[in-house]
Amino acid sequence: MTAHDPARSPEATAEWWRNAVVYQVYIRSFADGNGDGTGDIAGLRNRLDHLARLGVDAIWINPWYPSPLADGGYDVADYRAVNPMFGDTAQAEALIAEAHERGIRVLLDIVPNHHSDEHAWFREALAAGPGSPERERYLFRDGRGPDGAEPPNNWRSMFGGPAWERLPEHGTDGADRTDGQWYLHLFDVRQPDVNWEHPEVRADFEETLRFWFDRGVDGFRVDVANAMVKEPGLPDVVEGVNDAQDGGHPYLDRDGVHEVFRSWRRIGDSYDPPRVFVAEAWVPDPERLARYLRPDELHTAFSFNFLTAAWLAEDLRSHIDDAITENSAVGAPATWVLSNHDVCRHPNRLSRKPEAGRGWNLDDVLDLPADPGLGLRRARAATLLMLALPGTAYLYQGEELGLPEVEDIPVDRLDDPTWELSGHTLRGRDGCRVPLPWVAGEPWHGFSDVRPTGPGPWLPQPDVFARHAADVQAADPDSVLNLYRDALALRRAHPALGGGTLSWQPSPEGTLAFTRVSDDGDGGFTALVNVSSAPVSLPEDAEVMLTSGPLTARGEVPADTAVWLRS
Ligand code: GLC
C-alpha cells in the first residue's frame, strides 16, 4: 500500500465503491470448470488470478440462483441457493473467500421486480385461485371485455408483446383452472412481476439480502430498480402523457420505490464493513436518476447516458457533465460503463456510421456497414476516457480481450427470449454473451479448464475468438489486455485518478481534454481524447503516460485515439 493508492488507503476502504473498477462476470460464459459447456463457479475460481492481474477492485456476478433460464437466470426460482449448473452454496462461499484473499470484493445481482414462474410462491398462487392470499403476492387481475378476454391494461412487455398472460384452463402443473385470470409480466411470460405493496414480498427480499451478506457478499447490483413499484389501480399508459418519466408513469420510476431502497440501505449499513448497492435503472433524466443515490438510499447507479452517447465530443461531454453534476448534488459518484450483458459490445457499436441516434442493441445497428478496425480503435480510446473520469467504472467480461460482438450466431442457437417474443425479428442479446476464449488452439478456445465432455459451449464461438484468447492477448505488448492492465495499474497508482473532480481544458474542435484533481488536491493528470476525424497536436511539454493507439510519425494524436498525460 502506498499513499498513491486511493482505493486501498485505510481511510478510504469503507468508501471503496466511490472509485472502484468493477468487473462484470456473466457466469454462464466466463469459464467452465467441469467441461459441460456452461461457465460455473469452479471456472471462476480457477480464473481469479486473471482478475487480480488485471487489477480490478471487485466483481459483480450475474444471477447464479436456481432458474429455468428462460431469461438467462433473471428468472429466479430460489433466491437463497445456487443453481446446481453453476455450483452450490459451499462453492459460492469458497469463491467469496478466495476473491477476498486477493483484495477483490464480490457483488451479486438481486432481481426484485419479478420471480420465475417456477418460484414456489408462483406455483402456490396458481394452485390457490383468484382472491387468495397466495395470488396477492403477484399482480393477478381479471381481464377486460366480454369474458375477460382482453388484457387488464395496455402495458407492453419490455421484450415485446403484451405484458399480461392469461392463465390457461389447464395448467402445466396439470391442474384444472377455469378462472381465466391474467398476471403481469413486464419481461418474459415466465417472469411474473411481484407485488411490492405486499409486506411478505418486502420481507422476503430483505431476508435474501441478509442471507448473502451473512456469507460475506459485499453488495448487490439491483436489477430494474426503477420498475418495481406500480401505480395502484394499474391504469393504462397514456401516450404523450406518461412517457416523460417524470414520476407520473404507471410503472417506471415511481417515487414509491425510494422507500424500499431506504430500508435496504439500513440493512447494508448494519453490516461491518457496510454492504453496498449499484442500481440498474434506465432513467434517462440524470436528476431523476440521482434521487436513487440520496445519502440514505443506494450508493451508485449506472450512468447509461454515457454508454448510449454518440461518438461525438459534444454528446460525450454533456452526458459526463450531467452525471457528475447531478450525482454530486446528492453526494454520490458517477458510475461509468461501456458494455454489459444487455447491449451490443462497444467495439461493434462504435464501428458504425452514422454515429448517433441508432440505439445500443445489435438489432439497432445491424443493418449499418461496419468497420471493425475503426470500432476497436474507438473502443480502446473510449476505455481510456472512461477510466480517466472521476467515479466508479464497470468492465464487462471479455472487453479486456477486445472481444467483438458475435453478430451472426445461427438463429437456431439463439437463447435470448427476445428472439421468440419479437416474432423472430430481433436477434436480442446473445452476441455479447458468447463464452470467453482463454487459450488459443485448445478445444473451445480454452473455455473449459478440463477436457470437454459436452457437445460445445452453450453458445457457439466464432474462429476469430482465437485472436482474442487471453494467452494470445497476454503475449502481445500492444494487445487490448495489456492496455487494460496498464490503464488499471496507472489509475491505481496515480494520485489524481479515481475519486476527485474533473476540469475541462480548451482543446481543438471535436476533442475532449480535461485535468483531474483528487479530493486531497493532487493533480498532475490530463486526458486528451480525439473524437474528431483528423490528428491533433499534443499540448506543449506534455509527457505521455499511456496512449490507446500509436501516435503519428509527427507525434500527433490520431483520430479516435486517447492519451493520458503527466501535466
Ligand atoms: C435487466 C437485466 C436483463 C434482464 C432484465 C429482466 O435489464 O440486465 O438481462 O433481461 O433485467 O430481469
Mutate to test the pocket of ligand 1, among 27, 69, 223, 341 (most ligand atoms within 8 A of CB): 223
Q: Is the bond into 66 cis (omega within 30 degrees of 0)?
A: no
- State the pLDDT at residue 400: 98
Residue 79, H or E segment: none
Nearest atom of ligand 1 to the alpha carbon of 429: 9
**Judgement on whether residues 146 and 97 belong to the same structural domain of the protein:** no
In degrees, rounded to 5, the angle at the alpha carbon of residue 561 between the alpha carbons of residues 555 and 563 is 65
**Judgement on whether residues 307 and 447 belong to the same structural domain of the protein:** yes
Cα-based distances in Å from 159 to 251, 418, 419? 16, 5, 9
Q: Is the pLDDT of residue 129 over 80?
A: yes
Q: Which amino acid is at 158?
A: M
- The Cα–Cα gap between 47 and 438 comes to 10
**Judgement on whether residues 87 and 214 belong to the same structural domain of the protein:** yes
Ligand 1 centroid distance, CA of 21 (Å): 22
**Judgement on whether residues 107 and 125 belong to the same structural domain of the protein:** no
End-to-end CA distance of the chain, in Å? 24
**Judgement on whether residues 216 and 144 belong to the same structural domain of the protein:** no
Residue 173 pLDDT grade (very low, low, confident, very high; cuts 50, 70, 90): low
**Is residue 201 helix, strand or coil?**
helix
**Judgement on whether residues 251 and 168 belong to the same structural domain of the protein:** no
Q: What is the CATH number of the domain that holds 560?
A: 2.60.40.1180
Give the chain's largest Cα–Cα span: 80
Q: Is the bond into 404 cis (omega within 30 degrees of 0)?
A: no
Q: For residue 25, tell me if it sits in a domain.
A: yes
- State the pLDDT at residue 50: 98
Domain's final residue, options 462, 487, 512: 487
Ligand 1 centroid distance, CA of 462 (Å): 25
Give the model confidence (pLDDT) of 322-374 as tens digits.
999 999 999 999 999 999 999 999 999 999 976 666 789 999 999 999 999 99
Q: Is the pLDDT of residue 11 over 50?
A: no
Task: Tell me if 321 sits within 8 A of 311, measured CB to CB.
Answer: no
Residue 542, H or E segment: none
Residues 239-263 as b/e (b if ≥16 CB within 10 A, e otherwise) read: eeebeeeeeebbbbbbeebbebbee
Active site residues: 223, 280
**pTM of this prediction?**
0.96
**Judgement on whether residues 286 and 353 belong to the same structural domain of the protein:** yes
What totals of helices (H) and strands (E) does the chain contain, helices first? 16, 16
Residue with the larger pLDDT of the pair 225 and 567: 225
Nearest atom of ligand 1 to the alpha carbon of 111: 12
- Ligand 1 within 6 A of 71 CB? yes
Mutate to test the pocket of ligand 1, among 224, 278, 283 (most ligand atoms within 8 A of CB): 224
C-alpha cell at 354: 452514422
Q: For residue 78, tell me if it sits in a domain.
A: yes
**Judgement on whether residues 333 and 413 belong to the same structural domain of the protein:** yes
**Is residue 165 helix, strand or coil?**
strand
Domain's final residue, options 487, 521, 538: 487
- State the pLDDT at residue 172: 58
Lowest model confidence (mean pLDDT) among 88-97, 172-181, 553-562: 172-181
- Ligand 1 within 6 A of 74 CB? yes
- State the pLDDT at residue 535: 98
Q: For residue 457, tell me if it sits in a domain.
A: yes
Task: Tell me if 362 sits within 8 A of 408, measured CB to CB.
Answer: no
Closest Cα to atom 9 of ligand 1: 342
Residue 463: CB atoms within 10 A of its CB come to 7
Closest Cα to atom 7 of ligand 1: 224
Ligand 1 centroid distance, CA of 25 (Å): 15
Under 8 Å CB-to-CB from 66, ≥6 apart: which residues? 76, 77, 78, 81, 82, 83, 84
Q: Report the candidate in 295, 285, 202 with the shortest Cα–Cα distance to residue 249.
A: 285
**Judgement on whether residues 353 and 407 belong to the same structural domain of the protein:** yes
Q: Is the pLDDT of residue 472 over 90?
A: yes
Under 8 Å CB-to-CB from 59, ≥6 apart: which residues? 22, 23, 24, 25, 51, 99, 104, 105, 106, 107
Q: Pinpoint the alpha helices (H) of 85-233.
A: 89-101, 120-128, 133-136, 199-213
Q: Is the pLDDT of residue 462 over 90?
A: yes
Residue 541 DSSP class: T
Average pLDDT, the chain: 94
Inter-helix orientation angle 257-269/199-213, to 10° = 30
Q: For residue 271, tell me if it sits in a domain.
A: yes
Q: Is the pLDDT of residue 310 over 90?
A: yes
Under 8 Å CB-to-CB from 168, ≥6 apart: which residues? 177
- The Cα–Cα gap between 501 and 512 comes to 15
Q: Pinpoint the alpha helices (H) of 270-413.
A: 286-290, 304-308, 313-329, 346-349, 362-365, 372-388
Q: Which residues pair with 243 in a beta bridge?
A: none
Ligand 1 centroid distance, CA of 72 (Å): 9
- Ligand 1 within 6 A of 223 CB? yes
Q: What is the CATH number of the domain that holds 172?
A: 3.90.400.10
Ligand 1 centroid distance, CA of 223 (Å): 6
Under 8 Å CB-to-CB from 326, ≥6 apart: which residues? 286, 287, 289, 290
Q: For residue 194, tell me if it sits in a domain.
A: no
Nearest atom of ligand 1 to the alpha carbon of 71: 10
Mean pLDDT of 454-469: 96
- State the pLDDT at residue 160: 85
Q: For residue 332, tell me if it sits in a domain.
A: yes
**Is residue 511 helix, strand or coil?**
strand
Mean pLDDT of 279-290: 96
**Judgement on whether residues 362 and 317 belong to the same structural domain of the protein:** yes
Q: For residue 90, tell me if it sits in a domain.
A: yes
Residue 484: CB atoms within 10 A of its CB come to 24
Q: Report the candidate in 196, 303, 185 with the shortest Cα–Cα distance to residue 254.
A: 196
**Judgement on whether residues 153 and 269 belong to the same structural domain of the protein:** no
Residue 331, H or E segment: none
Nearest atom of ligand 1 to the alpha carbon of 74: 12
Q: Is the pLDDT of residue 490 over 70?
A: yes
- State the pLDDT at residue 353: 78
Residue 227 pLDDT grade (very low, low, confident, very high; cuts 50, 70, 90): very high
Give the model confidence (pLDDT) of 15-25 as tens digits.
999 999 999 99
Query: What would the DSSP string read from start to end of 222-290?
Result: ETTTTSS---TT-PPP-TTTGGG-SS-SSSSS-TTHHHHHHHHHHHHHTSSSPPEEEE----SSHHHHH
For the chain, give percent helix, strand, coil, nearest 5: 30, 15, 50
- Ligand 1 within 6 A of 224 CB? yes
Domain's final residue, options 463, 487, 511: 487
Nearest atom of ligand 1 to the alpha carbon of 341: 9
Half-sphere exposure of 350 (CA within 13 A, CB side): 26
Q: Is the pLDDT of residue 465 over 60?
A: yes
Closest Cα to atom 5 of ligand 1: 74
**Is residue 512 helix, strand or coil?**
strand
Mean pLDDT of 207-232: 98
Ligand 1 centroid distance, CA of 422 (Å): 16
Lowest model confidence (mean pLDDT) among 60-64, 100-104, 170-174, 329-333: 170-174
Parent domain of 49:
6-112+200-487
Ligand 1 centroid distance, CA of 341 (Å): 9
Q: For residue 413, tell me if it sits in a domain.
A: yes
Ligand 1 centroid distance, CA of 78 (Å): 17
- Ligand 1 within 6 A of 342 CB? yes
Mean pLDDT of 238-253: 85
- Ligand 1 within 6 A of 187 CB? yes
Q: What is the CATH number of the domain that holds 90?
A: 3.20.20.80
Mean pLDDT of 235-249: 85
**Judgement on whether residues 261 and 308 belong to the same structural domain of the protein:** yes
Q: Report the candidate in 546, 421, 441, 450 with the shortest Cα–Cα distance to residue 491.
A: 546
Percent share of the chain, pLDDT over 90: 88
Closest Cα to atom 12 of ligand 1: 74
What is the tally of structural domains in the chain?
3
Percent share of the chain, pLDDT over 70: 95
- The Cα–Cα gap between 336 and 346 comes to 13
